[in-house]
Structure 1
Amino acid sequence: MDHGGSLGRARALFPFAPEPFVDLSTGINPHSYPFFQLPATALTRLPEAARLAELTGIAAAAYDAPSAAYVVAAPGTQILLPRVAAMVKPGRAAVLGPTYAEHARAAKLAGHGVAEVADFDALADFDLAIVVNPNNPDGRVVPRGRLLDLAGRLNAKGGLLVVDEAFMDVGPRAESLAGDAGQGGVVVLRSFGKFFGLAGVRLGFALTDTATAARLTGDFGPWAVSGPALEYGIAALADHGWQEAMRERLAGEAARLDALLSRFSVPVAGGTPLFRFIDFAGAPGLFRALGESGVLLRHFTERPTVLRAGLPACQDEWLRLETALAGWAHSRHDQAEEARS
């Protein structure tokens, strides 16, 4: 399954494209948290339980969870998906879509029959409901009040609401359910690598009631989070100054990307400050033209008019994107002229 970010797949699709690719196919921050010298013990010793406790305490404060007892640290949220789905006995699961495809796959692995629904209210009829908030790839946000109401209805019948807040670091934080994780019937997932630009660290969190958190932590056993991941998580989640400055920077760059796309008549229909959502009839041609120029967007086979564009990492990448867009627009103009003649 293609999730973007695969340069091997990009080379297979566009074997004659100039390299290096400008990879805009992910929603990962291109401006990573600063690298620093790890203590040797992060690599030479097994991770200490006290260091994990420090991380979960800092994560609880960063995400507004009641305390560390409500936080589960894991080697990425991806590994949490089937484990969280298995918190509910096999039944009927629904994913509010279209969205990130791994949630449906994980629910199936946990034994559920899975449906994708477009109507939020329909989620209450299922045993397991999954909402990505803000949504990937269109940036849709479901208000916190509606989510809390759904969680209460599901909890009353032994069901579970899973809210994937992978992009909430750059979303409307007032709509986050992280602070409500203790009420029962809710699991909130938070990704570390996307906002901090450190996807390879493989670190993520589940925020939930203390009993569920203890069960998930016990399932992982000791040393689930690597020493380097602990060090980066502790440093980055506690660095509030960097976080606020980065949110402001990303908002500015998202506006810059919107303006650039608009210059070439590419409509932006939504997104978050980490990615922009494009939906128009010319999407297949744009994806192909930019790919052949070495600029990779995220396309969706099942939704051919949809593209997602991440942020360029530097001025050279901005210039390459602008040049590729200009080439596509010129070619499109020439094709229109030929059709008229």
Structure 2
Amino acid sequence: MTDSATHKQQGAHGGEIFRIAREAGATPDTIADFSSNANSLCQDLTEEILFSDPQGAYSDYNHYPDTWAVELTTAIAEHEAVSHDEIIVGHGSTEIIFLTFQQIKPKKVLLIGPMFSEYEKACAVFAQEHDVLTCTSDTNFTPDPADLAKSGEYDLVVLCCPNNPATVTYPDMQKLLQAIHSPYILIDSTYREFLHGTPEYAATESSLYKSWCNSGTSLITIHSFTKFFYCTGVRLGYAVSDADTISHLQQGKMPWTVTASAQKAGIKFLENIANYRERLPALFAYRKEFTDAVRSTDVFASDAIFNGVNYLFCRLKNPELGAQFYEYLLNRNILVRLCDNIPGTEKGFIRMQVKTPTEWAPLIAALHEWAATV
């Protein structure tokens, strides 16, 4: 890869494989991408759904998509055990994020960091002011309920649970939600499905969150098909809230944002969700192996190697060398996520997706090489 400063800049997201390859004069298949959190261990399941029936996904190419994705909404409502009018489907969770801000029009927003960068972008577009409450590694990235006591100053409070990139599933969400006095709370639940089979799964249900919120607070939970079903290119997400809030969001939604093929794929994903869940034990076994391999390189602070649902979040022993570390790996055709530009994140953290031992072997070798140079 060329030694160009242009392609060595960490963008707003992980998974920017096309930009990285284009600016490096390479092809995407020559770069080992550890910067995305999509569930790549289920690639074969997703390919079967998307490509086994050539006429299935695209058979409605000559009709406008159903703006309200009624069939998919019905399937999601059954999956979430809520009514049809408590669901809105969008072109990925990002559309739902911006639609929520557009319709709520919050003047002041509190983001509980670390936080997905699109929330800060939405604040810049639709809010007059926003604050980021940074939760640090020495508190396991968990806010103190006392720090949320001033939440009445905010029109919208945003949390991510399980948190990306900070890995934590908040251990006492009831106390956190009861400490928030705001007309709207948004909880990003993108990674919840990875918790299936654990006690945390039942403790992160939208209905349970709703019961913990204070009177007068409307709760919105955002969900994505992207990560768990390994379909980043399909662009499909949804929100769960009370019927009045969903109706308000629908009033501002552009028509036809969710393609007919994405709607059909979403239905198929939910029909086959048990097959995806069966892969979770293997994923967690790989995660442990990957963690041990990463720890053996001695690149990261021993007390700052955290397990996310399908990724690791690790702070370099030399946090100030984050940009150089990112470039070092990129010059070896390995892409990781430098998290310095994620709102509310401590400097020097790197996020790396869990893959198979064969796939991570070059990364581990590169980490050993890096350790020998610093």
Following superposition, the deviation at residue 96 of structure 1 comes to: 0.4
State the partner residue of 1:164: 188
Which of 342, 345, 349 is matched with 1:306 structurally?
Answer: 349
Contact preservation (8 Å) 1:25, 1:310: yes
- Counterparts of 1:218 and 1:13, CA distance in 2: 40
Q: Is the 8 A contact 2:286 2:357 kept in 1?
A: no
The residue number in structure 2 matching 1:21 is 31
Shift of 1:251: 1.4
Partner of 1:297: 336
8 Å Cα contact 1:18/1:294 also seen in 2: no
* Cα distance between partner residues in 1 of 2:306 and 2:108: 30
Q: 2:296 aligned with 1:263, yes or no?
A: yes
Gaps of 5+ in 1: 336-341
Residue 360 (structure 2) aligned to one of 318, 322, 336: 318
CA distance in 2, matches of 1:221, 1:17: 34
- For residues 103 and 49 of structure 1, do their structure 2 counterparts lie closer, same or farther at Cα, with a shift above 3 Å needed? closer
Matched, 1:131 2:164: no
Instruction: Answer whether contact 2:37 2:227 (CA < 8 A) is retained.
Output: yes
Give a deviation string over 1:50-81, Cα, whole Å, max 9, x none. 9x22211221232x342222110011111111
Q: Quick check: which one's helix share is greater?
A: 1
Q: Distance in 2 between matches of 1:49 and 1:82?
A: 17
Q: 1:85 to 1:120 in 2, by over 3 A?
A: farther
Per mean C-alpha deviation after superposition, the further-off stretch among 127-136 and 169-178 is 169-178
Q: Given the superposition, is the C-alpha separation of residues 86 and 175 from structure 1 closer, same or farther in structure 2, using an over 3 Å criterion?
A: farther
| More off after superposition, 36-45 vs 100-109 | 36-45
Uncovered stretches (5+) of structure 2, i.e. residues with no partner? 1-10, 135-142, 212-216
Q: 1:17 to 1:281 in 2, by over 3 A?
A: farther
**Residue 84 in structure 1 maps to residue 100 in structure 2:** yes
Tell me which residue corresponds to 1:240.
273
**Structure 1 counterpart of 2:114, from 93, 98, 104:** 98
Matched, 1:220 2:253: yes
Instruction: Between 76-85 and 302-311, report the one with greater CA deviation.
Output: 302-311
Matched residue, 2:234: 201
Counterpart secondary structure, 1:42: coil
Q: How many residues align?
A: 324
Distance 2:77 2:15 in 1: 29
- Structure 1 pair 249–218 and aligned structure 2 pair: CA distance change class (3 A): farther
> Would the alpha carbon gap of residues 281 and 10 (structure 1) be closer, same or farther in structure 2, given more than 3 Å must change?
farther
What SS does structure 1 have at the residue aligned with 2:305? strand
Q: What is the TM-score with the length of structure 2 in the denominator?
A: 0.77
